[in-house]
Structure 1
Amino acid sequence: MNKLGVPTSIWSHIENRVSLTPEKQFLVDEFGRSYSFKEFYQEACKYAGWLRALGVVEEARVAWQLPTRVESIFLCAALCKINAVQVPMLPILRHREVTFMCRQAGVDLLIVMNEWGGFDYAGLAQDVAAEGACRRWELLPSLEDIGCAQMDTKNPVRTEEGDGERWIFYTSGTTSDPKGARHADRAILSTAMGMNACLELTAADVVPMVFPFTHIGGIIWLASMVMTGSACFVLERFSDKVFPAMSAAGVTVAGAGTVFIQEYIRYQKRLDEQPLFASLRCTTGGGASKPPNLHRDVREILGGRGYVSGYGMTECPIATMNTLHDPDRQLAATEGRPMPGMLVKIVDRDGRQLGPNDEGEICLKGPHLCLGYVDSALDTDAFDADGYLRTGDIGCVNADGWLSVTGRIKDVIIRKGENISAKRVEDVISGHPAIDAVSVIGLADEERGEMACACVVPANNMGPVGLAELEDFCIANGLRRQECPERVEVFTSLPTNASGKVLKEELKRQLASGG
């Protein structure tokens, strides 16, 4: 709490919520387990006791690579209580990424499941620790095993409550190595507060956690729910198999992005007149482009207010967002106006600020902004002289303040909301003996938002490389399946400028025209 009694850390908001509505239902999962805010608090304290017994103290750096389960949420809250620095990692990450992140972030403890989705996370963690990238690793105890743990009743010391580094979220960028954005609790809380206002969230709402909880959006939603007293439906894997359980849970705000919303719409069409979400107020999301007809389809097929989206990134989440009361034309075509305290400017190539409706690079500044990168050498290029984040995205702001995102400077493909480094994929494919040159581009796709297309020039006297063969090669050389190209196009040569740089926009134009 600050001097005015306002909570300024996530844990203090948890304590505040438990004092207000202890018996209110908070977490419900697809297996029928249910926890009130009081029970959530108690389980978090047990996990905190387990962590204390392991020697985890304030400022310790703890990475956790876990699926979206109630146990993961309990652990996250426990680490908030201890005041550790958390490094959440997406479950799809493998040895290269996890090793790099743990080593760069100086991780003291890595927490994983034994096995999930057919993958040996314990074996991965053991290898990472053996290579010296983290000091130790542990398996996350089950709720049954944690039941005998001593509850942690210590009050953490917070000399920089809300302002100090508490989170490191890694994101793929234009380089092969992930970038670690350092965040304070205050940025997460400010983002959640703005989202709460835009969506008018209350204790009556039920929101599904459909994307990985380890994503920064998962932590923002945790803060949001604790602030408002709303309930969370927790599911490990997003598929239409869990839609009936989501429907039974009474979902009112369905997220969390274009791909998810499109799945809801497809499923609803099969139900005919029976509503999938009878109590739906709106859908919401961000992180990927949206088709211009998506807002209309939500209103007509799913019901509610429509698609209320926003714009941001790991370094600066939800900088802008629409509201329930915005005109349909803005909900359909824009990403809303700046959140309270957030500043958005559009600049030309020389950094000069542009006027309304002029297209340029989007730059962001305000309370949601990260503290910088773990690798501080990246800060120089990432922020301008006035402290604005250079997003690498192209867009414009109209005279009334609504932001439209029209493209990207950054060479990143956003597939189902996940960033894929084109350079990393190119680096792998360039090692294929049958390929002389390669350029990987993102093509618009209704299902994925974008799909990766490998534009290749075959080596002399070598036949064309098929998609299946290329995927096998990429996986064998360290790429995740999600990073592999989903389309291959063969060229006799790639278009380049005078300095030899491949003209990717020209490739996109050629493919769009069928040339």
Structure 2
Amino acid sequence: MLVPTRTSDIDYAAIGAWDDRTLYTFLDEAISESPEAPAIRGDGTDVSYAELGRTVSTLAAAITQRWVSRHDVVTVFMPNWPEAVAAIHAVNWAGCVVSPVVTTYRRAELSFILAESGSRVIFIPHVYRGFDYVALLSAVLPDLTDPPVVVVVRPQRTLPEGFYAFDELIGEQLRMDPVGDASDICLLLYTSGTTSRPKGVLHSHQTIVWEMRSIIRELQLGAADSTFMASPIGHLTGIVYGVYLPMLLRQSTSLLDVWEAGAAVERIERHGCRISLGATPFLRGLTTEYERRTEASSLRVFICGGADVPAELVDRSSRVLNCLVTRTYGLSEMPTFSISGAEASLEQRVHTDGRPVSPAEGYVLNGEGGIGELVVRGPELFLGYLDSALNADAFTSDGFFRTGDLVAIDDSGALTVRGRMKDIIIRGGENISALEIENYLHEHPQVLDVAVVGYPDPIMGERVAAYLVVVAGVSGSSIDIGSYLQACGLAAHKRPEQVHIVADLPRNASGKVQKQLLRGAHRGASA
């Protein structure tokens, strides 16, 4: 039985942020009020809310009758397919906890997550992007003392013993009413684990429902706003805004399972999608594709977060897409702390990560020169880590969550992320923000993408290295980063002493640069 590992210090129900509505409450209402409206839109076929409702009820009954009880964890290890949407809703309908996992994880990560969470069932594709997930699970299950049952979507051959076909479960004549309370844990998110093993983040119906209600308010979203989602549903953005938000709006979701900018634009325009959210690579790709096509976008709002968002990209995308492009700041533990809403100026949207979403609160801890670690709390704050031992260092004595992010807050209350505490390069005792250097390099006309890391040095402790993705025809010998940064006024000790031209930067499924891989390359070379 999964329960919160810590409780909020504030009664958010008393101020109207939390109520007794659950995620399945909104799905049930959408099914009743808009049965023939499309819930999921694909390349060829749509799934109506009535059809989705039947599948969800049947699947919830099937797993409850066989394998799960209320509060159990069920893992959804799936790409952005319609079956994944049904599985997620069915797990919540059954009163269980959804644990979405990005499909890029392999044996080490998956074994850890399944063991720690005690997952009772896992939904997987048979084959996705040429990779055999049945073979992966066949290798993982012996690692576990109490392995989950495996449900396979779109099986391509006879399944091993103990593996069950998704279509067989939804073909049964079973139904059940939804189960659970708003205070129940409904979502177990594993952080991307860019520096260590993933942490299990606990959310309730109340925290997730408030997250969506507050964004609907801030961006003035309505019933005409259908969603396009390319972020994987194994990530916070994908599941909350690609699966859950559409049912609050009684609208459809159009999911893309393999990112390709041309396919994304075609899907957006075919379905008239008006909302999308994603990290920098998605926004940059869409903007470049619309520029190439010289056609208007049907998008009304694009929310960009989850990775560093260059000011120049927000400015350019706002003009090319002719829609509200806004930066946001959040994390798995606090989905949206700040955003520039519908009334914000272009200048604020370009140059800041927005203001706190009321009644969320935050302040800068141990700030020097106006920059320090951001600590936060609010109705959407998570309810602790699954491993409760991790809570002790994660919260201040007054109940605020320590984000580990360095921010500056201006006189208007808008914050701007300046870097991560663990993304500080210490060169000869001087602290250097990698993000500061990256922001300058993003402005270079020949630079498409950039990551700055520290590398070990026996004299200085660390020195600065820059990894650049550059325009075609540019080489390391023809791009003078040092002179450019000098002209920008950047101090000499901050200028990269190594510059690497690469085809792409390594990113995880949520779009964040995996800097530990870049640092690891240096450590390996110096060993």
Shorter-chain TM band: 0.7 to 0.9
| Matched residue, 1:257 | 279
Query: Within the alignment, does 1:325 sit opposite 2:343 as a pair?
Result: yes
The partner residue of 2:311 within 292, 304, 315 is 292
| Matched residue, 1:14 | 27
Structure 1 CA distance, aligned partners of 2:205 and 2:353?
Answer: 24
Letter in 2 for 1:298: S
Instruction: Determine if contact 1:110/1:138 at 8 Å carries over to the other structure.
Output: yes
| Matched residue, 1:217 | 237
What's the C-alpha RMSD, in Å, of the aligned pairs?
A: 3.5
Change (3 A) 1:59 1:493: closer
Query: Within the alignment, does 1:335 sit opposite 2:347 as a pair?
Result: no
Structure 2 CA distance, aligned partners of 1:252 and 1:9?
Answer: 25
Q: Please, what TM-score do these two structures have when normalized by structure 1? A: 0.77
| Matched residue, 2:487 | none
Query: Within the alignment, does 1:127 sit opposite 2:146 as a pair?
Result: no
| 1:449 shift after superposition | 6.4
The 5 A counterparts of 1:41-440 are 41-132=53-144, 134-142=146-154, 144-156=167-179, 158=180, 161-173=181-193, 175-221=195-241, 222-242=243-263, 243-272=265-294, 274-275=295-296, 277=297, 279-305=298-324, 307-348=325-366, 358-411=370-423
SS in 2 for 1:348: strand
Structure 2 CA distance, aligned partners of 1:488 and 1:175?
Answer: 14
Letter in 2 for 1:32: G
Letter in 2 for 1:101: I
| 1:489 shift after superposition | 6.6
Structure 2 CA distance, aligned partners of 1:347 and 1:40?
Answer: 46
Structure 2 CA distance, aligned partners of 1:392 and 1:9?
Answer: 31
| 1:482 shift after superposition | 9.6
| 1:117 shift after superposition | 1.3
Write out per-residue CA displacement over residues 350-395 of structure 1, whole angstroms, 9 at most, x where no aligned residue: xxxx9xx921111110111111111111111110101111011011
Instruction: Determine if contact 1:102/1:133 at 8 Å carries over to the other structure.
Output: no
Letter in 2 for 1:190: W
| 1:483 shift after superposition | 6.7
Change (3 A) 1:329 1:155: closer
Structure 2 CA distance, aligned partners of 1:163 and 1:449?
Answer: 42
Change (3 A) 1:492 1:225: closer
Unaligned runs of 5+ in 2: 1-12, 155-165, 426-433, 459-499, 505-512
Structure 1 CA distance, aligned partners of 2:272 and 2:106?
Answer: 35
More displaced stretch, 179-188 vs 53-62: 53-62
| 1:152 shift after superposition | 2.1
The 5 A counterparts of 1:428-467 are 444=438, 451=451, 455=455
Change (3 A) 1:126 1:363: same
More displaced stretch, 212-221 vs 169-178: 169-178
| 1:94 shift after superposition | 0.8
| 1:69 shift after superposition | 0.6
| 1:492 shift after superposition | 11
| Matched residue, 1:422 | none
Write out per-residue CA displacement over residues 6-42 of structure 1, whole angstroms, 9 at most, x where no aligned residue: 652101111122222222222101x212022222211
| 1:43 shift after superposition | 1.6
| 1:212 shift after superposition | 0.4
Structure 1 CA distance, aligned partners of 2:178 and 2:525?
Answer: 67
| 1:226 shift after superposition | 1.1
Structure 2 CA distance, aligned partners of 1:85 and 1:108?
Answer: 10
Change (3 A) 1:493 1:138: closer
Structure 2 CA distance, aligned partners of 1:490 and 1:482?
Answer: 12
Change (3 A) 1:24 1:491: closer
SS in 2 for 1:254: strand
Instruction: Determine if contact 2:237/2:277 at 8 Å carries over to the other structure.
Output: no
| 1:215 shift after superposition | 1.0
Percent of paired sites with the same residue: 23
| Matched residue, 2:518 | 485
Instruction: Determine if contact 2:279/2:307 at 8 Å carries over to the other structure.
Output: yes
Change (3 A) 1:381 1:15: same
Structure 1 CA distance, aligned partners of 2:525 and 2:236?
Answer: 42
Letter in 2 for 1:342: A
Instruction: Determine if contact 1:258/1:449 at 8 Å carries over to the other structure.
Output: no
Change (3 A) 1:303 1:481: closer
| 1:146 shift after superposition | 4.5
SS in 1 for 2:59: helix
| Matched residue, 1:38 | 50
Structure 1 CA distance, aligned partners of 2:404 and 2:347?
Answer: 26
Structure 1 CA distance, aligned partners of 2:214 and 2:22?
Answer: 16
Structure 1 CA distance, aligned partners of 2:524 and 2:144?
Answer: 44
Aligned residues: 437
